[in-house]
Structure 1
């Protein structure tokens, strides 16, 4: 296993991290025996960074990881989990939620604690509620060792959050199709320049860069002198970046775990040749030609006068048609593009006003600003037809009370502990 140093902490972390968002399931629940065996196998073979979150697997991921880390495994690893800021109403809520998470994980400290999926407006709200005081005190009393944040926000919002606190690390979505999307390459390099360790999520874009590869894309991969799977090329491309500390993989197949461990032991920074980098660039270009919308996520079209989150709308639209088996995933699945559209364009997690494609007023401002000269209003109409079916409003009515119930259950459990 290759290890990379977290600059501010000195920790030597495995280049491959085990993501606990997509653990193996049986009869709709986590297959505990298999999941624990997979996690322990990864740890036995050098993986020492394990990532979970409060709501993964409908709240079952943290407790499962707590069980997996019994029998001496807790001492071998660094555990990362996340504060679900969308259920935080007061400064006291932060402590209560953290205490529940410590109980879930059967530990007295979180090695790497993240504010989950934070963006500009939620960061501002959290600051007003006292998040900095919470992080400082939780670190001082040892419940948190290192503080960080995960984010899917724009580059500018990301940089503002990086500068907003003395973070040890951050977590971003990054792969060869997201070099300009979200934090992108500029955000990656900026965070690293500030001394932050950078954890990478969605290196395979939910699996779409690894499975059911379009024939046009596979033809390009076949041009390589040394044959590798599409997944290996995608992972090696990320590990080629010296700014990257850990790449998370939501591994739930034993074969994939073994393969990823092998690749992580070989894929060192700056190890790809110019020819190999050119091959990946050619694959990127081929994917973009296959996308429904040729949006690069540059955000020149923003802000939209009508409040539409144009880049998110197009990202979800493209993902739905490039993601293998998207139509087979449950509507409330974290990997379902329809659900992600609801949560992000619907502004549910951020507490914002909706930013749906259907809000477009066809003013034309975005068309003038787009470097790709895309007919954005026309594409937004397509997005609206694809995602905004009658079930959308129904689901919105269901999700909000569900999140309120989730918060109530958490606070009730925290109240019983005190």
Structure 2
């Protein structure tokens, strides 16, 4: 296992982190015996960064059990404060104390504000006193390092980076998202400020693993060294020295073994120019198979009508049409995650401004109408409403336990 240093803390962290959102399932819940065995196997083979969240049903409870028998002392534990459930300064302390109890520990090594998707979400947390909360929790030892995870545009991301003395951050990053969300620009910015960077969604929820479209596989077949699509994706991220840890939501024993092997070999700046060019071509081949060839460059933004154009297309392209993609659309584009102003595709006024500046020369209004037709149906909006209700129910249940 290779390790990299978290800049502000000096911690030597495994380049591979175990993401505990997608633990193996059995019936309606987590397959506890299998999940515990998987986590302990990974730790025994060098993984020392484990990531969970209150919002991942059953994950913190499972991890509390998995880290018994001396395993807690072998790892750095990361979990998150769900800002979408917070309505007061007191909520923050109550949730953290509940998490400590659930995880059966007296401190969280890496504590994050969970999934900031807009400036509104961060603004709400600031107004409720999150800076005071983090300072106090660090001072009394309940948390060691403070960070945030983000799915927001790079401009907002930079503002959040500059707005508190963070130790680290967590971003979605892979070779299809170089210009999407924080992207490469955000990665470099956070690193320049001394923050450690944890990467989530290196495989875009599995989209970049498995069996790729034929045009993509044809590109991989041209490489001198044969690798799986997952290995190409992971090695591309680890090639960036600015990245500290890459999280993988591992739930298959074979995948855990493969990822540990790759994480023992993938050094910074180890890909050749030819290999980097192959990854670039694979990314282009993926985009050509997407329903919309958007790169996430954001030249089309801001939209005069308030549409989150890249966000609409990201949801539309990622496993397009699935229940998960529609939920993400409602949460992020619809502002249901953090109370942001809705930025739906249907808000488009067909002004044409975006078409004039799009480097890909995409008929953006036409594609937005396609997104609205599929993602803003009664059923899709019902999913959004159910999601909001589920969040409220989760808050009630969390506060009851706390």
Pick the TM interval, shorter chain: over 0.9
Give CA-to-partner distance per residue, 1:24-71, whole Å, 9 cap, x none: 001121000000000000000000000001111xx3111000010001
Give CA-to-partner distance per residue, 1:155-196, whole Å, 9 cap, x none: 111111111111110000111111111111111011111111
Equivalent residue for 2:68? 70
Count residues in correspondence: 401
Cα distance in 1, alignment partners of residues 228 and 293 from structure 2? 25
Equivalent residue for 2:112? 114
Q: Does 2:379 match 1:391?
A: yes
- How much does 1:107 deviate? 0.6
Q: Secondary structure at the match of 2:288?
A: helix
- How much does 1:300 deviate? 2.0
Equivalent residue for 2:202? 203
Native 8 Å contact 2:4 2:12 kept in 1: yes
Equivalent residue for 2:176? 177
Q: Secondary structure at the match of 2:258?
A: helix
- How much does 1:367 deviate? 1.7
- How much does 1:122 deviate? 1.0
Q: Does 2:118 match 1:130?
A: no
Equivalent residue for 1:381? 369
Cα distance in 2, alignment partners of residues 397 and 147 from structure 1? 32
Native 8 Å contact 2:207 2:319 kept in 1: no
Give CA-to-partner distance per residue, 1:193-226, whole Å, 9 cap, x none: 1111000000011111111211111111011111
Cα distance in 1, alignment partners of residues 342 and 7 from structure 2? 39
Q: Does 2:366 match 1:368?
A: no
Q: Secondary structure at the match of 1:127?
A: helix
Of stretches 28-37 and 117-126 in structure 1, the one that deviates more from structure 2 is: 117-126
- How much does 1:292 deviate? 1.3
Instruction: Give the gaps of 5 or more residues in structure 2.
Output: none
Instruction: Give the gaps of 5 or more residues in structure 1.
Output: none
Cα distance in 2, alignment partners of residues 300 and 247 from structure 1? 28
Matches for 1:158-307 after TM superposition, within 5 Å: 158-307=157-306
- How much does 1:278 deviate? 1.1
Of stretches 80-89 and 388-397 in structure 1, the one that deviates more from structure 2 is: 388-397
- How much does 1:230 deviate? 0.9
Q: Does 2:153 match 1:154?
A: yes
TM-score, with normalisation over the residues of structure 1?
0.94
Equivalent residue for 2:307? 308
Q: Secondary structure at the match of 1:315?
A: helix
Equivalent residue for 1:49? 49
Cα distance in 1, alignment partners of residues 4 and 174 from structure 2? 19
1:86 aligned to 84, 87, 109, which one?
A: 84
- How much does 1:368 deviate? 2.3
Of stretches 363-372 and 104-113 in structure 1, the one that deviates more from structure 2 is: 363-372
Cα distance in 1, alignment partners of residues 132 and 207 from structure 2? 40
Equivalent residue for 1:101? 99
Q: Does 2:343 match 1:358?
A: no
Equivalent residue for 1:31? 31
2:58 aligned to 54, 57, 60, which one?
A: 60
Of stretches 364-373 and 143-152 in structure 1, the one that deviates more from structure 2 is: 364-373
Of stretches 158-167 and 363-372 in structure 1, the one that deviates more from structure 2 is: 363-372
Cα distance in 1, alignment partners of residues 388 and 223 from structure 2? 49
Cα distance in 1, alignment partners of residues 9 and 29 from structure 2? 36
Give CA-to-partner distance per residue, 1:298-355, whole Å, 9 cap, x none: 222222222221111000111124xxxx74xxx4xxxx11111111121101202322
Give CA-to-partner distance per residue, 1:4-41, whole Å, 9 cap, x none: 00010000000000000100001121000000000000
Equivalent residue for 1:400? 388
Equivalent residue for 1:9? 9
- How much does 1:398 deviate? 2.2
Q: Secondary structure at the match of 1:340?
A: helix
* RMSD (CA atoms): 1.1
TM-score, with normalisation over the residues of structure 2?
0.98
Of stretches 251-260 and 378-387 in structure 1, the one that deviates more from structure 2 is: 378-387
